[in-house]
Amino acid sequence: MSERVNSTPLETILSRITQKKAVIGIIGMGYVGIPLAVAVGRAGYPVIGFDVLDARIEQLNTCQSPIGQIPNSALEEISKTGFVATGDFARVCECDALMICVPTPLDKMREPDLSFIISTMETIAPHLRAGQILALESTTWPGTTYEVLKPYIARTGLTVGTDFFLVYSPEREDPGNADFNTQSIPKVLGGDTQACRDVGVALYSAFIDQVVPVSSTKAAEMTKLLENIQRAVNIGLMNEMKVVADAMDLDIHEVIDAAATKPFGFVPYYPGPGIGGHCIPIDPFYLTWKAREFGLHTRFIELAGEINASMPSYVVNKLIRALSERGKALKGAKVMVLGIAYKRDIEDVRESPSVLIMELLRDWHVDLSYSDPHVPVFPVMREHQFDLSSTPLTPETLAEQDAVLLLTDHTGFDYDMIAEHAPLLIDTRGVYRRRGQNVPTA
């Protein structure tokens, strides 16, 4: 369909998408925005990446990727199709499509913090125009797109579904996953109106292999929460089973492996030192908060959250007992943490249980160090601060510790060397169980 004089905003934007003339703006160039920019750029569309951090903009414009899963070569590739990063939000008016990929954390009361979304809308609202589509990708409670974003659009005089299009399509990024990327992960999408959904499907189908339309933005928002709540609940169950198994002197990993031989009805999940990342520890609380508006108490979800949140303390208590058996107090002990990223082979420390455990150990005045090949210097975080750099893993640095906590099972660790030279090794990930080596396990 070619663009015509007097064509409607719907016809115009569909034509620009089909002809690859649409300029795509991505707001928030982080773990979601950068992979999304790569997928869009590789599909042949020019991309403008918006961010408020000058250092991040400089990195992107010099094709220096700040996240491990995206190589510099990917940024070099999309720069040839027009990718540029900027902090000039007036350029929003140049974009045919806008995708919001900003953080949605919890506040200190464990309630949703939409300040990044609200700040984004206040910044871009003066620059919105007819014929654009706006997609929210940030995880949030059901109703956010309609209740929070739509009023900003209405105040501009634009009409959603007629001359402006509004959708919600939750990110499904999984850093470190070698089997799936942004293009190959199916994309759920809900529109504020049928026309909005049609434009959204056309847009995302241009660079995503499979788009999964649902009936509304609210249904798409709930879908994202269900995905992560299911995982949080199952991990919570296994963490509780771990505690029970320990009390009964059972190896929970042996039990899980045996149960997993059942060819139907059982899906293995594994315990650990807690849960991390920007989704699983946070998303359940978005639903529990919204459910209270309807007089509902999501007891099952909240209980799983409590169990998962208790695991860092459980690990520290296991360490206290293990040291006591060797005649050593935790206070003043030399303890090395192996892995501070929230999961294997990535550099992301957001909501990492390792960081929470480090804070508990600091409260005990432990002589603390860490080693993580993916995090050479402890990053600046909103709530957690450590003036530490990664310690090289050598027989000498291991031997001088009183205890070593294996918290993130990076494939780059030399597990044989660790087992040989650590005076006390506590494995919270079951690594040595999988390797057939017998070491103390928390």
Closest CA to 294 of 344, 363, 222: 222
- Return the pLDDT at 1: 44
Tens digits of residue pLDDT in 281-334:
888 999 999 999 999 999 999 999 999 999 999 999 999 999 999 999 999 999
How far is the C-alpha of 440 from the C-alpha of 442, rounded, in Å?
7
Q: Where are the domains of the chain?
A: 9-215, 230-434
- Return the pLDDT at 177: 86
Residue 207 CB neighbours (<10 A)? 19
Superfamily of domain 230-434: NAD(P)-binding Rossmann-like Domain (3.40.50.720)
Q: HEC states along 263-299?
A: CCCCCCCCCCCCCCCCCCCCHHHHHHHHHHHHCCCCH
Range 9-215: architecture per CATH: 3-Layer(aba) Sandwich (3.40)
Tens digits of residue pLDDT in 395-410:
999 999 999 999 999 9
How far is the C-alpha of 218 from the C-alpha of 83, rounded, in Å?
31
Residues that are catalytic: 279
- Return the pLDDT at 167: 98
Q: Taking the CA of residue 382 as centre, how many other CA atoms within 13 Å lie in the half-sphere pointing to its CB?
A: 8
Q: pLDDT tens, position by position, for the chain (442 residues)? A: 455 557 899 999 999 999 999 999 999 999 999 999 999 999 999 999 999 999 999 999 999 999 988 999 999 999 998 999 999 999 999 999 999 999 999 887 888 999 999 999 999 999 999 999 999 999 999 999 999 999 999 999 999 999 999 999 999 998 888 899 999 999 999 999 999 999 999 999 999 999 999 999 999 999 999 999 999 999 999 999 999 999 999 999 999 999 999 999 999 999 999 998 888 888 899 999 999 999 999 999 999 999 999 999 999 999 999 999 999 999 999 999 999 999 999 999 999 999 999 999 999 999 999 999 999 999 988 778 899 999 999 999 999 999 999 999 999 999 999 999 999 999 999 999 888 877 765 5
Q: DSSP E strands: which ranges in 142-286?
A: 164-168, 187-191, 211-214
How far is the C-alpha of 189 from the C-alpha of 175, rounded, in Å?
21
- Return the pLDDT at 442: 58
Burial of residue 303 (CB within 10 Å: 0-12, 13-18, 19+) is: middle
Taking the model in full, what pTM does it have? 0.92
- Return the pLDDT at 178: 85
- Return the pLDDT at 110: 82
How far is the C-alpha of 328 from the C-alpha of 313, rounded, in Å?
19
Residue found under tokens 């464990």: 110
CATH topology agreement for domains 9-215 and 230-434: yes
